[in-house]
A and B are shown apart, each in its own frame.
Chain A
Amino acid sequence: MSGLIRLEVLRVLRNRKSVFFSVIYPGVLFLLIAGSADSGTTLGDTGLTLPAYMMVSMASFGALTAVLMGNSERIAKERENGWVRQLRLTPLPGRGYVLAKTAGAAVAALPAIVLVFVVAAVVKDVRLDAWQWLALTGAIWAGSFVFAALGVAIGYAATGDAVRPITMIVYFGLSLLGGLWMPTTTFPGWLQDLAVWLPTHAYAALGRAIEQHHAPGVRDVTVLLVFFVLFTGGAAWLYRKDTLKA
């Protein structure tokens, strides 16, 4: 089992495309969005500067990319080419495959988060207390498991040509509407009301609360937990359905 996890991690790190998109890309995007922003003035009533605000958004976005994009497509592909079937003929316990995939994605998510932090601190002078950096890393990393489960669910629900467009729609939809690319305060009112119920919005809010020295909002934690249960439940159900027809 640990062997499979190790190998899944290695694969992610060996794949240049996945390293670029899930590790480097969020840091680059942060620079593009926050690069010319003023580090002095604060954003609306958040008390945060634009770089500090976008740092959490982009770290969350990077983690989301790592766990969602890689898994769904790989799982769908490996179900199709028969590797999943092949693994079912080894003594690997049933859930081992999904756990290893999730672990592989989680490992890729961590450097993405850290890279955004390093870029923000070095280039845009974002300053936080030591405990805040640690808490941010932990919270964003832990939160990424919600979307890892979603990636697994999509991987088992979609096949072949459909998996990439479906993943893209979910990924861009969640990123944009959840306010990872721009503050939701720029949205029309009705859309803002909708956005607060999205898992990506709650995810970024978690990190922002840490930056603002607040305790995380009850609604945000609840939204994340509900989606986590929903996504893992869905993934487990789809997985079981798939193994029965194998």
Chain B
Amino acid sequence: MTTTDTVVFDRVTKKYGDVRAVDGVTLTLRPGETVALLGPNGAGKSTTLDLLLGLKRPDSGSVTVLGTGPREAIVAGRVGAMLQSGGLMGEVTVAELVRLACGLHPRPYPVPEVLARAGLTAIADRRADKLSGGQAQRVRFALATAGDSDLIVLDEPTTGMDVTARRAFWATMRDQADRGRTVLFATHYLEEADAIADRVLVLHRGRLLADGTAAEIKASTGMRRIAFDLPEGTLDEAALRRLPAVTAVTVSPGGTVRMRSSDADATVHALYGLGVYPRNIEVAGLGLEQAFVALTETEEAVAA
């Protein structure tokens, strides 16, 4: 471990009764990384973020943020965080709330800049407790980015945002990462993780299942998609299922076959050996979503 690491989890475990919400997680986040935290509901994403932010304490193991404890890092203004459903103050306006956040930060950005970046300029005079879900989400984002922090933590940041707002949001986050900030976000939008993160962490039942680039995770399952068309009359689904390394076969009414294979080369070779003439053949890696499903399913199968 070096002092430049932004976040270090060392064999962190957090239990609720008998349930291990986070189970022996070890990971390191470095400056400038944009990291997505993926996992089905109940995988331990929120607990992981709570541990990272010092809102919960681990039962065992240690959490280090920017060389200190999480709480110290937050009080020093080195962490900006946005939770999924934090309430906002009543009886105050959006601008007043943002001014408060800027005032609390040791290295604040100018209030108009923070408002503009979060797309709040037009609603700056509205009451903070009378906003739509997406607007409130943008206010929480403004609170998280009121000053110059080294680490930005976002829990499901784009929930409730429309496509335009979502795009603008990620452009801002990219800009932050380019300036050397570490950005960690939990999401269930896999396209977002695929498009934005340079590193993806897959959490399942409190354990870290995969840690790498989106491309590495897609490849790590070793699975490939094979698709082709077969002329009518030559299609024998049972024969296709018997091809080597095939794990799944679906046939659409138009005669298009989609298969999943753990060894695409062997499958395609054997396919030609059947004496058929497949057209428009395509072999591709799994999408992140399919890789994610494959990963968690394998884990379920092992557990069962």
Contacts and interface: CB of A to CB of B under 8 A. Distances in A.
A172 B144 CA distance: 42
Contacts of A85: 55, 83, 86
Contact of B143 (A11, A90, A244): A90
B90 A11 contact: yes
B53 A7 contact: no
B168 interface: no
Given A3-B100, A7-B96, A93-B75, A83 B83 contact: no
A5 B10 CA distance: 39
A90 B89 contact: no
Interface string B86-98: 1111111000110
Contacts of A41: none
Contacts, number: 75
A91 B106 contact: yes
B36 interface: no
Main SS of the interface on chain A?
helix
Contacts of B92: 7, 10-11
Nearest to A85: B86
Given A91-B75, A91-B104, A86 B91 contact: no
A19 to B, nearest CB: 11
Interface in B62-110: 74-77, 79-81, 83, 85-92, 96-97, 99-101, 103-106
A89 B136 CA distance: 16
A1 B75 CA distance: 12
B269 interface: no
Interface in A1-58: 1-4, 7, 10-11, 14-15
B140 interface: yes
Interface in A36-84: 78, 80-83
A4 B102 CA distance: 11
B100 A4 contact: yes
A11 B96 CA distance: 11
Interface in B31-57: 50, 53-57
Contacts of B88: 83, 86
A82 B87 contact: yes
A230 to B, nearest CB: 28
Contacts of A83: 86-89
Interface of A: 1-4, 7, 10-11, 14-15, 78, 80-83, 85-86, 88-93, 244, 246
